[in-house]
Amino acid sequence: MSCTGCSLGTSTNPGGNYIGVRVADAMDGRTTLVFTGEIAVKPGERIIVEAETGPEFAEVTTTTPVLAKACSSKKAKRFLRLASDSEYADYIERTELQDAARLFADAAVAELKLDLHVVKCAVGFDRRRMTVLYTSEKKPETRELARRLGDRFEIRVEMKTIGVRDETKLIGGIGSCGLTLCCSTWLKSFHPVAIKMAKMQGLTPNPSKLTGQCGRLKCCVAYELEGGIEAARRMSHGGDRDRARSAPPAPPAA
């Protein structure tokens, strides 16, 4: 059954209690939906929200977030409080710590001759743990790297490998269409993409045109195919009805 809407309000600002924020150091156009309840906030204000790993600093980017579906509001993060000056100062210190850890990690990787690329060193809101996100085609031994980082910054270190698509999602950028990358803005998950999908749309299998910044086939090849199939199905059904209406009546039975 298709979505028929709900009582939350318009898809632009359902009920007036939702805002869009930039969580921590997220870049490009990534907007996270937050439910504020009766608390009124303005663009540019700094707040604390409940993220996947606990409380996190965020900055309000819009008070009229656009939703693909009204039911998307069910995934909204919870507003905790307005951020204090000290929490904002702590956020700035954490970003500087992350940058310093990234430079230290890069140097350690080169010294240890590890076959991996450090994408980000993320420090949690409570500073109890640093998560080192990295990409690698193999399964490198990372215990020594984690030990060096832990000793240098006096923090618990967790090593986590991610895919090249996840790396591009974190870094962000501008696509060949001139817009911010789908994966770093609205695309929530990755779907399998095959060259067959491009051929089904009549696209020339040219790697330079079909490959995204992650080095893989562009995600839009998959969801544009889905949209094309749905459009063709609807036009086909409509055409069948039109032909049925315009067809001459059947002759009476003898």
| All residues at 6 or more sequence positions from 180 whose CB lies less than 8 Å from its CB, including other chains | 28, 29, 172, 173, 174
Contact 35, 18 (CB under 8 A): yes
Which residue, among 154, 165, 104, 166, has the nearest Cα to 130 in the 3D structure? Answer: 154
Q: Where exactly does CATH 3.30.300 map onto the chain?
A: 89-164
Q: Does residue 241 have a pLDDT over 60?
A: no
Question: Cα-flanking dihedrals φ and ψ of residue 202, to 5°?
Answer: 75, 20
Judged by average pLDDT, the poorest of 93-102, 154-163, 243-252 is 243-252
Phi, psi (degrees; rounded to nearest 5) at 135: -115, 150
Name the average pLDDT for the chain: 78
Average pLDDT over residues 183-207: 71
210-222 average pLDDT score: 74
CATH T-level fold of 89-164? GMP Synthetase; Chain A, domain 3 (3.30.300)
pLDDT of 5 > 50? The answer is no
pLDDT reported for residue 79: 93
**Exposure string (b/e) for 84-99, b if CB count within 10 Å is 16 or more?**
eeebeeebeebeebbe
125 or 211, greater pLDDT: 125
What does the pLDDT average to over 123-129?
A: 90
Confidence band (pLDDT; 50, 70, 90) for 71? low
> Residue 154's pLDDT is what?
94
pLDDT of 67: 67
18 vs 225, more confident: 18
